[in-house]
Amino acid sequence: MATLSEVPFYDPQPDSGGGVEPPSRILIVDGDAALRVRMKRVLAQDRRTFEHCGGFSDAISLLAQARYDLVILDYRLPDGNSLAILEWLQRHGRDDAVIMTGEDCPTEVALRTLRRGAQDFLRKPCHDVELRQSVRDVLQKHAAARTERRNRERLAASERLHRHLAERSPDMVFSLDADGCVRFTNPRLPTTLGVSRREISGRPFSALLGKADAERFDTMLKALRKEPVKDLVIEVQLLPNAGTDPEHGPEPVTVELRATPITAERDGRVDFDGLYCVARDLSAHRRAEELVGFQTYHDQLTHLPNRTLFKDRLELAIAQAQRRCNCLAVLIVDIDRFKLVNDGYGQADGDALLCEIATRFTAAVRSGDTVARLGGNEFAVLLTDIGGSEEAQRGARMLASALDEPFSLSGGPFRVTASIGISIFPGDGDTPELLTRHADIAMRAVKQAGKNGLRFFAPEFNSHHKARIALENDLRNALGLDQFELLFQPQISLSANRIVGMEALLRWNHPVNGLINPATFIPVAEEIGLIGQISRWVIDHACAQLARWRDAGHSEVRMSLNLAQHDFGREDIVDLVLDCLRKYSLAPSQLELEITESMAMQDRQGVAGRIRSLREAGVGIAIDDFGTGYSALAYLQELPVNVLKIDRRFVRDLDGLVTNPIVAAIAGIANGFGLKLIAEGVEHPRQAIHLKALGCDVMQGYYFAPPLRVADATRQLGERPRSPYEN
């Protein structure tokens, strides 16, 4: 067995068939080695490669390893039957072409080989021209047959793929004949119609449509028969269970039908043979559009109208009221204490509460009125065609009454109240913006007055509201304009007769309103989210001033700071304080942070953890205004505080020989827990003497010094404080 690579000793005759012969691989199987070489030389051409072998076994081995375009096979092989090779090729589904050669073979042998699959039979010795012609013819036929077979396979594969795609398509894929009857359909069309394929096969497609759509489709079909050049895109309604009464049958299915003409050329003209159709069910798309439209104008939780739809309805109601000379009312309803529900019961209960409130409010108003949710725990109500304020007030009380029954939450029954603000058209405004804003201002007036009530808008509310907005805007700029200032009130030790501490007190130097007390602006800062920035400023500036006093020789002075409730709710409060101490190289024991009883009681675990971290670092913690809040002694065991501050209200009652029992009790508590005492609001020497007698050595107040600016506080540190015993 060998590969023939000899160059022929003469130029082979060119292929008279014309064109370029495709590459071909030829196997020569013959027991005569010299003949094999000669055949190769005679048949050699570009794009032809040859292999050869001398017997049956070698031929089978080569055929098992590769496919050949042509096998030139001798009938008589030394080790086997050449017909067995033909049988092997058939058994293995091979399409290798075979030319059988044989010497002294009768005609019946030639016929037998041709019947077994050989393409030609040549008698030996064969002429070179005859061999070339036979090989060329067989290769051409074989190439043509192989190309045709591949085309058929590709066509079949394409048809299978198309049918697979059509069968699996979510759309209705079908074809119609020239008369518009169903010729083929995928399962989607009969499934949509509620029938079998057999029931609609051959039926006119127009019979599956409503009357108007059927007429329109037939008209378009007639036009396509005359000029089948353009695609058809129409929207039609299919009738499920076609043939049933349309008025009592299932709902029609709206589809978008895209149809492409099927054409054929005959005698130089283009004939219309039918339509290839794809119909897409628009029902889901329409439902999605409706859902998007609903979500655009409705609150997703309560399904009430949202702010946008409420404004649209209010605009329409104003236009109608102007034509009819009627009144209407806008109510803004804010649910009181709603934050307690989310914080105490969880968001799921909060959402359930809002949904139930929405249901009750909707039942409490007339069918022509509108209840909307503006966001959070705020609702808006539009009362149309009312006679005046009395009817608006009656509507507001109906809403309030709807909340009387307790709501069932996972933690038990929960009672809800509401703050309601009312504005009346036309007196309080003639645009949706004015009416809504004025009702909101009235609602906020209810909130400020203690909640759970209703109020009509009054012009003076507007001025208060504008002042509040101006305060918010000025407060946002105060830090950047350096308008904040710290005042310092000395804390005096009577036994040491010196200043042992300074309490830093924040003030706002407003350019118009002068010095503003924190009681005025801190709640606003907390509401608009500025309290964190202000607290950082206070801690940094207080520590910076303490460092300056230390550098001036006052190293034993402590700094006391009031922190807002928001500050101890922050995860980074411990790092913020300790970083500031490190920044100015201050000992933690020089800083004392004051918290209120209410702060200590809320989120006790979170607050306790942060207080414990600060105390472990050496920072002092004082309970400010002790005795005015919860006064639950249990938290003194849980929180590692080290100072109690006696509120000025208790100190004020210390007069003459009368001893306030509350102060005595607080002093006893501090002594029992091993805590230091500081008294606030000392204004008379007798108060200081009584406090000293009760065991309180450190105190502050106007008797000793008011809150001082930095220069005055620094001067006080160098002087001996006033003594109550010298008066």
Helix H or strand E encompassing 334: strand 327-335
pLDDT of residue 303: 93
Q: Which of 485, 494, 502 is nearest to 713 (CA)?
A: 502
Where do the H-state alpha helices sit in 377-422?
A: 389-401
Q: Which amino acid is at 70?
A: L
pLDDT of residue 605: 61
pLDDT of residue 150: 85
**Which residues, 6 or more positions from 287, have their beta carbon under 8 angstroms from its beta carbon?**
none
Q: Which of 435, 337, 322 is nearest to 381 (CA)?
A: 435
**Which residues, 6 or more positions from 167, have their beta carbon under 8 angstroms from its beta carbon?**
186, 187
Other CB atoms within 10 Å distance of the CB of residue 292: 9
Q: Which of 518, 520, 519 is nearest to 538 (CA)?
A: 518
Is residue 310 within 8 A of residue 370, CB to CB? The reply is yes
pLDDT of residue 418: 95
- Cα 559 from Cα 591, distance rounded (Å): 5
User: Which parts of the chain sit beneath pLDDT 70?
Assistant: 1-20, 164-166, 242-249, 461-465, 598-606, 627-635, 637, 655-659, 727
Strand partners, 453: 419
For 206-268, where are the E strands, in sequence order? 232-238, 253-266
Other CB atoms within 10 Å distance of the CB of residue 167: 12
Q: 548-571 burial string, b = 16+ CB within 10 Å, else e?
A: ebbeeeeeebbbbbbbbbbbbebe
What the block records as the tokens of 251 is 């709902």
pLDDT of residue 604: 56
pLDDT of residue 10: 34
Q: What are phi and psi of 414, to 5 degrees?
A: -140, 125
What the block records as the tokens of 457 is 């808008």
Interior CA angle at 302 toward 298 and 308, to 5°?
Answer: 25
Q: Which of 105, 115, 5, 100 is nearest to 59 (CA)?
A: 100
What the block records as the tokens of 292 is 């998007």
The structure tokens 């007390």 sit at 517
The helix/strand/coil state of 137 is helix
Q: Which of 568, 562, 570 is nearest to 601 (CA)?
A: 568
Q: Is the peptide bond before 426 cis (omega within 30 degrees of 0)?
A: yes
pLDDT of residue 81: 87
Where do the H-state alpha helices sit in 298-366?
A: 307-324, 338-345, 347-364
Four-CA torsion 166, 171, 176, 181, nearest 10 degrees:
120
Other CB atoms within 10 Å distance of the CB of residue 720: 9
**Which residues, 6 or more positions from 357, have their beta carbon under 8 angstroms from its beta carbon?**
335, 379, 403, 407, 416
pLDDT of residue 520: 82
